[in-house]
Chain A
């Protein structure tokens, strides 16, 4: 599904970025991506989605190169950023409709999906309000709904649980499972290590722009007590 080979991306004039990152996300994977603040998580996620061009290496989704055919890639994926900065001049329903138009989701299908997801996240009655009046959590819910609207093959999320109430967080986990059961895959960054350990079958840890470890969760944890213990040890080194 997603193959990253020896990826390198540095911000101009700085030493900030990522280097030598390689990993493989397969169908059905729920892949957690963890690291301290400024380690390069967002940089990698933005490079995968085609938002930021990278300097070296290769990113392939379904065998298609992200830099060579970005539009084809973007049709197959969905991206949830770390901050739900969305069009505040639109109402919730207008935003969802806009996203559905761009992905070409048929009218009947989008109506059904919007109704279903909005009901689950309990924001149906607010969909007619301007997004500028939404709380951070509500905006996050809207971004999540928009990401699930076109049934992406690969869902890339940057800290998706931030700002969600416990019920919404539970719902998101359910929706992530449903997506992988339908043959999709998820690659997401998080600081909530408990969630990552329970929810994900694979994990990668990044430190100062380089992958420290990656692979099956069980293999990464091995004889350690938890993912948190592994992470703390890795960061300390």
Chain B
């Protein structure tokens, strides 16, 4: 128990980087960390507000009692989706393995402490994101004190089960990839299957109604009471369909309503047992699993043969490529967008873009989804650029480039060029597919070619500028840089720059579409040039 407390304290000491923040002395670094913390808090509050407004809408539509079921399900799905690939880094760390093995401590408290850390992260995120929605539903639903007490307990208990489950997923993924020669490739493939699957799966759960049901709402003749009633019917039907397909979800949701205390406590107990069982099994085999996860590289006797020289820029680009393809987290997170671009291009051959907007034909405005396709493609290619984390990824190796006779311009050029080279095959493939899947005139086809290209140039350059301004060299896991850094978060703002004009283009008609698209390319081109000048300065 003493060791468990010690290791739990150690794990929680720097939760969300709090300890480093407390003790950092450099005022500039402190300012940067404060900025990052405030930004993340604002993002969390916006998301929490967004979920709360969703809860408000559901209450108005008479589905307030479904909020605990829906939001607790969402919470579990999020924890499972994002936790599965984080579990390995959370549980197994190569760096301190030898140190831990040398300590007179059993592995059980080490593993339990690490699981508690994962749980604490998930629980805190739950509080930030789901608490406002739960509170609102309780107040609007005029629930009694039992509901709120149940709610407080639910927030604590809810993350236990998915946290334990992600640990098993983490082991499974690690086991598949550990002794595989193409480790990064396998990890990427698994991530893509999980990611694309998670996007496709909800389609099967959507209500089976047709857009005809919404005709009354969009006809413009309905009163607000009629609109509310119609929407309420739709929402109720959707939940009924869902609960009919998944009866367990209904019972599970009822646990969080404060109506079934026994069932609720039983669920908490079952979650706790799974958690402890996970800690026990992993704890017992911790060092054995770790040894399998971090095998020593096979040694092959090397003989010096011919060595070829390359230009500085080629050498730097090759270094970028090696860095990129050696890190699974880096690849899986950045390859997702371009792959979605290709999938989207293929899907255009099977469905009409108008189906993305059910009932749009009844809107007072005429929608032209065809005009938005180039922008949507541009957004996919810009989803997460490599450049947004490529400076931070240098980490403790940054001294090498600092001490070598290479100009900052060459370093930046290499990072930009590698990102372009990486995206090039996806871009070319998408454009070829679009030739077969989209019927368009010459000008529209030109936009399909130029808008994604302009978006790529812009987002990649913008990503590098943000990373140059907000580098993060001190990190233990690449996750901290690729997924959680300020640079990657802020660089995603470029998505709005690409997507919002696309939405605007969809509302236009005829030659105005072409003019607006041309204007977008000109503006974004000029912006890219200005950003590029700043990047190489």
Contacts and interface: CB of A to CB of B under 8 A. Distances in A.
A74 B297 CA distance: 34
Given A87-B322, A94-B322, A133-B297, A128 B405 contact: no
A159 B28 CA distance: 29
Interface in A75-118: 75, 79, 81, 83, 85-87, 89-90, 92-94, 97-107, 110-111, 114-115, 118
Given A50-B403, A102-B405, A132-B297, A12 B302 contact: no
Contacts of B25: 11, 13-14
A125 B302 CA distance: 4
B304 A129 contact: no
A49 B307 contact: no
A67 to B, nearest CB: 14
A86 B300 CA distance: 21
Interface string B324-346: 00110000000000000000000
Contact of A51 (B303, B402, B405): B402
A86 B397 contact: yes
Given A125-B301, A129-B299, A130-B297, A74 B28 contact: no
Contact of B397 (A87, A99, A114, A128): A87
A223 to B, nearest CB: 40
Contacts of B404: 74, 99, 102-103
A85 B309 contact: no
A155 to B, nearest CB: 12
A50 B405 CA distance: 10
B309 A128 contact: no
A101 B310 contact: yes
B307 A114 contact: yes
A13 B404 CA distance: 28
B102 interface: no
Contacts of A94: 322
B396 interface: yes
Interface string A41-82: 000000001110000000000000000000110110001010
Contacts of B260: none
A79 B297 CA distance: 29
Interface string B493-517: 0000000000000000000000000
B95 to A, nearest CB: 11
B407 interface: yes
A107 B308 contact: yes
A132 B308 CA distance: 24
A49 B316 CA distance: 21
A214 interface: no
B311 interface: yes
B323 interface: yes
A46 to B, nearest CB: 8
18 contacts: A13-B25, A14-B25, A49-B402, A74-B405, A75-B405, A85-B399, A87-B319, A89-B326, A92-B302, A98-B319, A100-B307, A101-B309, A101-B315, A102-B312, A106-B309, A115-B304, A124-B303, A133-B299
Interface in A110-154: 110-111, 114-115, 118, 124-130, 132-133
A111 B307 contact: yes
B27 interface: yes
Nearest to A106: B309
A104 B309 CA distance: 8
Given A50-B403, A51-B403, A75-B405, A110 B307 contact: yes
A109 B397 CA distance: 26
A118 B304 CA distance: 10
B38 interface: no
Nearest to B316: A102
Nearest to B300: A128
A87 B401 CA distance: 11
B30 to A, nearest CB: 8
Contacts of A126: 299, 302
Contacts of A72: 405
Nearest to B325: A89
B322 to A, nearest CB: 5
